[in-house]
Every structure is written in structure tokens, then in C-alpha cells.
Structure 1
Amino acid sequence: MNSNDNIKEQLNDLINQVSTLYSSKNITAHYLDYFKRNAKLTKLDDAPEPVKKVEKACINLRIRNVSRFYHVESDYYNWELQRRAFRLTSPSINHLCKSVIFENTRSSHDSIDDPLNSKYYCVITQYVGSINTQKLMNFVRTLKNKQISKKNYNFRVTDGEKSVRLTGFENNGVSPIGMTFQIPIVLSSTITELQPPVLYLGAGHIDWKLALPVHDFISATNCFITDLS
């Protein structure tokens, strides 16, 4: 085994030890206490306007006191997931999530007013996860008790320009909180199983990230939850 392989093996061992440590209930409680105390200390005086827009939405939803904002390096998205997790002091790469706007291209309307039959959905999944569009379609269809035919559904990721218009946020900066339009949110059920129960998201700008406890996010956004993998 060469030196690089040895370093990688030691690093993987360390990551596994940290993951095991975080699975402890006692550590989870301490982590959440530490997380919330630091959330209250976050100042965004120099943050770009889209990030301040997200912060204002957090204030309106009464979750600002549990929302942590992180200003990351400009080459953050060139890093491997584990390095990103270390940068954010995330318990694991499983906690790193993304928000993707999906469009029903066969919808008979362009409205988002009815969350049970919206043209668009903001889907949140882990970076290590995947989005099964068939499962997404099946779930959304059950929201209307399957009254709408399958032929009226075809979910795909909406194009970048449309995503910016709907959310107000650029690629890799999309936040489900503070979107220009109140697009219904669908959360992957695997995120509810995270320990400690915290998720990391975009914060309105590519160089800013937002983290908050999963329970607080669900309560504040009234998002849908389903298996998407």
C-alpha cells in the first residue's frame, strides 16, 4: 500500500468513527444545542441580497433562531462531498442536500396555487441520493386520489432560466425558503432519518449555505414527505 492509499484509509476510518459518534443520542442532543446556539450568532450584514431575502423568510417563518448561514469559498462546488461536509461542520455527507425545481410538462395548467396539483414542485434530496421521477409522479398523483390520469404527468427538471424566474435564485444557490413564488415542497423521506436531524441547503447564493433542524424545516414549510429513491 502506498502512502496516498494509507492516508485515504486513515481518513475513511476517521470518517466512520465520527459517523458512529454522531449516532449516539447523547451526542445528538449536544450537537443540536451547539448548533442552535451558533445559529443565533450568525450575522449577515455583508451577505448578498438573495441571502438576506432567505434570512427575512426565515424570520417570517419564525425559524431564524435555528437557522445557520455559512459563507463558503468560491470553488466549493469543485470539492468532493466529504470536504464540503468538513467545511460546514456537517455530521456527514448524507446531510448535504439540494433543492431542484421539477416541472410537470403535461400539466393542463401553469399554476402553483393548488399544492395538490401544481405545475411545479421544489424537490429536496440528498446529494448522495437520487430522485425517481416515477415515484414523484405516483406521489403527486395520490394527492388528488389518482383522479387525474397518468397521461397528464411527466416530471422533469425545469430549465435554468425558468428556475431562476420561479425561485429568484441562481443554480447551486436555490433555497426552498424565500422563493419568489411559493412552490410546493417535496422532501425526500430519507432526510427525516438523518442523525443528528439537521439538513444543509442552498441559501440563495452559490457561495452561501443554510442549515437547520429537519423538524423545524418541516413544521415551517408544511412540505410533503415521500420516498423518492
Structure 2
Amino acid sequence: MNNVERHQHIIKEVNLKGHISVVELCESLGVSSVTIRKDLQFLEDSGLVYRTHGGVTKHNPYQTDRSVIEKEKIHENEKRAIAKRAAEFITNNDSVIIGSGTTTQFFAREIMPQGHLTVVTSALNVTLELLKHPNIEVIQLGGSVRQTSSSVTGQYAIHTLDQFFCSKLFLGVDGIDLEYGISTTSAQEAMLNQKMIEVAHQVIVLADSSKFSRKSFGKITDLVNIDVIISDEIPPAFMELFDSLGIQTIICK
């Protein structure tokens, strides 16, 4: 098999699977890892794929900051399905934390508590969605407002969280990577999310399938610190790792 045939094979596999490892390509093509890495470098330089640690993907693995208005229009059906499933985790007289993001905003719209519910949140858009329910007590964290995420960050919000302990944290993320863990585009938001994890009994990540095999600037935490992941689709490599870590996975269409 010549270079062109290998390149065509790699592009076909990446388009089919979304992500494929160097090891898999070596086995399927019968060539060395050195040859595969040269092929991947050529394809990335040509703008056809994106290299990741140990493999290649068809999606840009580096998430950049975008406004909440722009992100709300992306993967709407997937986010709505994830939100509906996540709402089932709310129980009577629950106390929960909801992080920022458009998926958590969709989640807030689906919350219909039968009893009293206390919500601590950094997200202004989440607060606005919940104010329509008289039986939901909303504790809005204060701090500097990030316009792109419609949420607050900073030390004031972090210190306020010292006063609470909640049963669940519902967290939206910008990237999920096998080694890097979960991340967001803002370092300040990542630090606030880290504190949220400290004061929650259960960490539930809400992420559509576009977030997998991506990294963002601010690392939130390693995957081992997550309890549940709800998504519309989870790549096989991630499913295998989540199973080994004891992370509950929920796939909803």
C-alpha cells in the first residue's frame, strides 16, 4: 500500500469512527508507528485531520471560547435529550449545584420538582430559567460576570461555596480527554468548578458527543473524580475507560 492509499484509508477510518489510535492504524495497515505518525503529520498539515495524543480525530481537539448565545444553537436536540435525562436525578427536597453552560441551561428548563428544591448556581441564565418555579430556592453566587458564559467566577464565589454541601453537582464542560480529563475554556471557571466538586457528594457531567477527544485551556479535574456522565453518544475508548473507573454512563438520543 502506497502513501496515497494509506492516507485515504486513514481519512476514511477517522470519518467513520471520529477518533482512531496510532496502534489501531499500525495493525490495520501493517506498518510501523513511525510511518503512521508521518502520515498523520502530513494529513494534519493538509488540514484534513487533527492529531491527538496517541491518535487522530476529525474534530479540532482544542476548544475555544464562544458566546453562550452561539453555543445554545449548536447540538440543540442532543442537549435537550441530555437535559431531560439529567432532570430525573432531582429528588424531593434536594440541594444541588448547577454549573454554567448551555447544556445546563437546557437542564434547568427541564427541572419540575414535586417538592422543595434548593439550587446553588454560578450561571445567570440558569437562575432566570428557575425563577418561574415558586418551590425552587435559588442561591446565585456572586462575582465577576463572564459575558461569554453568562456566569460568575472569582474568589468571592469560591469562598461562598465553603458554606454549602450539596447532594449533586450538574456540570457542563467544553472538553473531555482520556488523559487530560474534563476542561473548560476559562481558567477562572475551572477553579470555581473544582470548588463545586469539593462540596458535592455526586458529580454528574452533562456533555454532548462533540465534547469528547477535546481539550480546553482550563483543566477542571481528572476523570476519576466523576460519578456520572450523560451524553448522546460516547466513543468506545471512553466507554472502556469509564467502565474501568466505575463511572456510570447514560446515553440518550
How high is the TM-score relative to the length of structure 2? 0.30
How high is the TM-score relative to the length of structure 1? 0.32
Which of structures 1 and 2 has the bigger CA Rg? 2
Point out the structure with the larger strand share.
Answer: 2
Flag the structure with more relative contact order, 1 or 2, with Cα contacts below 8 A and sequence separation at least 6: 1
